[in-house]
Amino acid sequence: MACVTGDDVRIKVNNDQLCSGIKGGIEGAIHGISQLFESQCEDGGGLLLVDADNAFNSMKRSAGLWNARVLWTRCSRFLFNTYQGYAVLIIRGAKTYILSKEGVTQGDPLGMMFYAIALLPLTRKLKNGSAFLKTVFDRAELNNTSAWTQNWYADDSSCQSDLESILVWLQLLVKEGPKYGYYPSPEKSYLVVHPNFVERAQTLFADFKVNVVTGFRFLGGFIGDFQETENWINEKVKTWVKAIECLSKAAEQQPHLAHVSLTKSLQNEWSYVQRVVANVEKPFTLLRTALESTFLPALFGSEVNQAEISLMLLSGHNGGLGIRDPVNSSTLSFQSSREGSKILSDSIIDGISLEMDLHETQMKKSIHQARELRDSLEQDIWVKTSNGLPIHRQKTLQRIKDGECSTWLSMMPTHDNNFLLGANECRDSIALRYGRVPIKCLDFVMDAINHLT
């Protein structure tokens, strides 16, 4: 149902709720809100990041199903059949059980879309220029000069504006949110402001006990002054360096599993940060050093020289091991993400509807251009590095690259069809890939290899 009717939700919700499945939704939100904050913070603007209590389990299920009947018609009956009864939650070791009567069920593939539809009336109610706000202001309950830019990703709501307007928005959210099963927790929320406005913000939001800071994480990225951002990045890098050290120890016994863990999981964590946070090349030198000094030697089973390292930190189809260079990829990743999500981030900044087709076209174009640029840069590195190697190793590398002999590097290491390589098998394959003598290779086998190369 998500594949068949998912577009209905994305079109209906648009950019008012980014958990509906919009491509690059989180990245567009981070870039848009970051630009707004940077342009307004020195003039007294701020960004409020709201935390809600148990949001997914507190959503008003009956109201959400009715919203789906009106806003997501093609999937409404399916949702009703799914949620018309109460799911039984069994507590291990207890004789009693709990009935799930509100919210969305954990693990439901439609959960995010259902949540987006359920909270859509609330998000549009508080959107700048809505009929509800006009009515409130006309009644003179609040200052009618208030204006803001809000952003929602599931239960993570945020508001960017001047401090007085943010206070108005928070007051309305606290009042209107519970009607839809959204219970804000101001004491666990954070207000990001310029250092010059910390005291003023603390005074304004004293009644709500909001935490006033000069920088804080936002949807996996970070928004705040440069020093706060750098400190956050440094802490993340330290965590990743420790993870690389752990994988290096694992690589001594299971190099194939360690390689897949790095390429399929760990490096994607820092790749995401590189896409949403600018100017992070310097801290990532520690990651490259950890890869050079610990992981690659453990993977190879012996020392590796700088030329081999340069080759290994390339894409598989360009003769590498699929391990992205954390320094060289930083700037390109950020530029690609910002360019690809430009239409979405601009729509958030300007408060206008998102042209979905234009956005998806821009995303595809940016991804294609980034891939071509990355391949061009890697090709230059490959040519420059391989030319400095002995002729027989150059031939080996050229044959590996031209013959597209890198599929095995991207295979998941399952026992089915013997895709899981043992330690010696993996190391021998890597050694042969770069024209090196396998560590445990008999003389007559090496003679045969030299004859073939």
What letter represents residue 335's amino acid?
Q
Q: Are residues 80 and 173 in the same domain?
A: yes
The mean pLDDT value of the chain amounts to 90
Last residue of some domain: 184, 202, 224?
224
Question: Does position 127 have pLDDT exceeding 70, yes or no?
Answer: yes
Q: What backbone phi and psi angles, to 5 degrees, belong to 434?
A: -110, 20
Residue-range definition of the domain harbouring residue 138 = 2-224
Question: Do the beta carbons of residue 89 and residue 99 sit within 8 Å?
Answer: yes
Please name the residue ranges forming H helices in 387-408. Answer: 391-402
User: What per-residue confidence (pLDDT) applies to 234?
Assistant: 94
Question: Do the beta carbons of residue 161 and residue 53 sit within 8 Å?
Answer: no
Q: Are residues 126 and 199 in the same domain?
A: yes
Q: Are residues 327 and 304 in the same domain?
A: yes
> How does residue 451 score in pLDDT terms, banded at 50, 70 and 90?
low
Overall average pLDDT of the 319-324 stretch: 92
Q: Which of 308, 333, 343 is nearest to 430 (CA)?
A: 308
State in Å, rounded, how far the first CA of the chain is from the last one. 53
* pTM beyond 0.85: yes
What letter represents residue 265's amino acid?
S
Q: Are residues 270 and 195 in the same domain?
A: no
Last residue of some domain: 200, 224, 248?
224
Overall average pLDDT of the 51-62 stretch: 91
Percent of the chain with pLDDT over 90: 67
Question: Does position 214 have pLDDT exceeding 90, yes or no?
Answer: yes
Q: Are residues 109 and 255 in the same domain?
A: no
Question: Does position 145 have pLDDT exceeding 70, yes or no?
Answer: no
Which of 348-362, 388-402, 428-442 is modeled with the greatest confidence? 348-362
Question: Does position 141 have pLDDT exceeding 80, yes or no?
Answer: no
Helix (H) or strand (E) holding 305: none
Overall average pLDDT of the 321-342 stretch: 93
Question: Do the beta carbons of residue 287 and residue 270 sit within 8 Å?
Answer: yes
Q: Are residues 342 and 300 in the same domain?
A: yes
User: What per-residue confidence (pLDDT) applies to 108?
Assistant: 87
User: What per-residue confidence (pLDDT) applies to 444?
Assistant: 43
Q: Are residues 332 and 319 in the same domain?
A: yes
Question: Does position 441 have pLDDT exceeding 70, yes or no?
Answer: no
Q: Which of 194-208, 266-280, 426-440 has the lowest mean pLDDT?
A: 426-440
Tens digit of pLDDT for each residue in 360-414? 999 999 999 999 999 999 999 999 999 988 998 888 888 888 888 888 888 888 8
What distance in Å separates the CA atoms of residue 357 and residue 340, rounded to the nearest whole number? 13
Q: What backbone phi and psi angles, to 5 degrees, belong to 182?
A: -115, 115
Question: Does position 49 have pLDDT exceeding 70, yes or no?
Answer: yes
- 237, 272, 295 from 289: Cα distances, Å: 12, 20, 9
Overall average pLDDT of the 312-325 stretch: 91
User: What per-residue confidence (pLDDT) applies to 134?
Assistant: 86
Last residue of some domain: 224, 244, 262?
224
Overall average pLDDT of the 31-56 stretch: 94
- Burial string for 88-120 (b: 16+ CB within 10 Å, else e) reads eeeeeeeeeeeebebbbbeebebbbbbbbbbbb
Q: Are residues 76 and 142 in the same domain?
A: yes
DSSP 3-state assignment of 329?
helix
> How does residue 74 score in pLDDT terms, banded at 50, 70 and 90?
very high
Count of structural domains, the chain: 2
CA 440 to chain centre: 41
Pairing, β 215-218 against β 87-90? unpaired
Q: Which residue has the tokens 């420790």?
A: 242
Q: Which of 166, 57, 160 is nearest to 118 (CA)?
A: 57
Q: Are residues 199 and 105 in the same domain?
A: yes
Q: Are residues 190 and 54 in the same domain?
A: yes
- Between residues 48 and 432, which one has the greater pLDDT? 48
- Between residues 97 and 245, which one has the greater pLDDT? 245
Structure token digits, residue 39: 């342009």
Percent of the chain with pLDDT over 70: 95
Overall average pLDDT of the 4-33 stretch: 94
Tens digit of pLDDT for each residue in 233-260? 999 999 999 999 999 999 999 999 999 9
User: What per-residue confidence (pLDDT) applies to 442?
Assistant: 47
**How crowded is the C-beta side of 441, counted as CA atoms within 13 Å?**
19
Q: Are residues 203 and 269 in the same domain?
A: no
Q: Which residues contact 206 (CB under 8 A, 6 or more apart)?
A: none
Q: Are residues 389 and 439 in the same domain?
A: yes
> How does residue 91 score in pLDDT terms, banded at 50, 70 and 90?
confident
Question: Does position 308 have pLDDT exceeding 50, yes or no?
Answer: yes
Question: Does position 450 have pLDDT exceeding 60, yes or no?
Answer: no
Q: Which of 372, 339, 346, 344 is nearest to 357 (CA)?
A: 344
